[in-house]
Structure 1
Amino acid sequence: MQTQNPFLDEIAKLTTAAMGMAQAASEEAKSAFRAQADRAAAELDLIRREEFEALKAEVAALRGELEALRGQAPNV
């Protein structure tokens, strides 16, 4: 048997609303933190991992090319 209690019904509605507000606040806090972190990274003039790896590969290729050129040069 199920009874309808208006007081408990209102408590359930308030709890559900509070959980929704807490979840929304959590998402807003995450968004604000990401924006602040991105702003700080931009101010520090940092580069992304992909850019670093591409530059690292380019430097390695240039070093190999330099060593090859040194091997071809006549010794003085």
Structure 2
Amino acid sequence: MQSENRVFDDFVKFVNGAAGTFAGMAREGEQAVRDRAREFMGGLDFVSREEFDAVKQMAAAARDDADALKKRVDELEAALKAKGGASTPI
């Protein structure tokens, strides 16, 4: 009876050791995949969120400036036309 328990105990230790080994392998594999993905993404030309937002704000400001300039040109053309001058469309 004692020898059967000893064999069973050894088997349980073996299984626990194997489970720990497999868990460690899974963690290492997951980390390797993450490293590869980070390496792949780093090689592409992605921008950070901060850079994207900054460019987006600059584009909105440029659009506002262009709209203001168009309005000013329209007003000047209307004033020139009211004075009898010729206006040439661009």
Superposed pair shares fold, TM > 0.5: yes
Bigger RCO of structures 1 and 2 (CA < 8 A, at least 6 apart): 2
User: What is the deviation of 1:55?
Assistant: 4.2
What is the TM-score of this pair, normalised by structure 2? Answer: 0.61
The answer for unaligned runs of 5 or more in structure 2 is 75-89
Deviating 4+ runs (over 3 angstroms):
none
The 3 A distance-change label for structure 1 pair 59 and 73 is same
Instruction: Report the count of equivalent residues.
Output: 72
Query: What is the rounded CA distance, in whole Å, between the counterparts of 1:15 and 1:8 in structure 2?
Result: 11
CA distance in 2 between partners of 1:31 and 1:16 (Å): 23
Paired residue secondary structure (1:73): helix
Q: Paired residue for 1:46?
A: 46
C-alpha separation in 2, matches of 1:28 and 1:7: 32
Where does 1:1-76 land on structure 2 (aligned, <5 Å)?
5-48=5-48, 50-51=49-50, 54-55=53-54, 57-59=56-58, 61-62=60-61, 64-70=63-69, 72-75=71-74
Task: Determine which structure has more spread, i.e. the larger CA radius of gyration.
Answer: 2
Report Cα offsets for 1:10-30 as digits up to 9, x if no partner.
111111111111111111011
Aligned-pair distance for 1:62?
2.0
Cα distance in 1 for partners of 2:55, 2:19 equals: 48
* AA at the equivalent of 1:65: D
Amino acid at match of 1:58: Q
Identity of matched residues, %: 19
Q: CA deviation at 1:67?
A: 5.0
Unaligned runs of 5+ in 1: none
